[in-house]
Amino acid sequence: MKNCIACGMPMKKESDFAMGDPQKDYCVYCARPDGSMQSFEEKKQGLINFTIKTQGLEKSVAEKAVANMMSKLPAWQEYFKK
């Protein structure tokens, strides 16, 4: 089992992978319609919106939570180098 490099989701079945391709390192939720991976800003905004919707957090709190989570994911390491 792989975890998505962009959001951390466990990818257990073929349909979890972008374009249903188990060779991809990112999931169906992190892929654009053409199969390419979303950009940092696209993923960040999507995760902020998802966090607000599912956890009821205020935007500033959701932004901090998402930044903390994304900083630990392989796809976004370059955005968090100090």
Residue pair 18/31 in contact by the 8 Å Cβ criterion: yes
| pLDDT band, very low/low/confident/very high, at 81 (cuts 50, 70, 90) | confident
pLDDT per residue as tens digits for the range 17-67: 999 999 999 999 999 999 999 999 999 999 999 999 999 999 999 999 999
Contact 24, 17 (CB under 8 A): yes
Quote the CA–CA distance of 30 and 9 in Å, as a whole number: 10
Q: What is the pLDDT of residue 82?
A: 66
Domain span at residue 54 reads: 2-80
In angstroms, the CA 42 to CA 62 distance is: 15
User: Buried b vs exposed e over 52-65: b needs ≥16 C-beta within 10 Å?
Assistant: beeeebeeeebbeb
Q: How confident is the model at residue 11 (pLDDT cuts 50, 70, 90)?
A: very high
Structural domain tally of the chain? Answer: 1
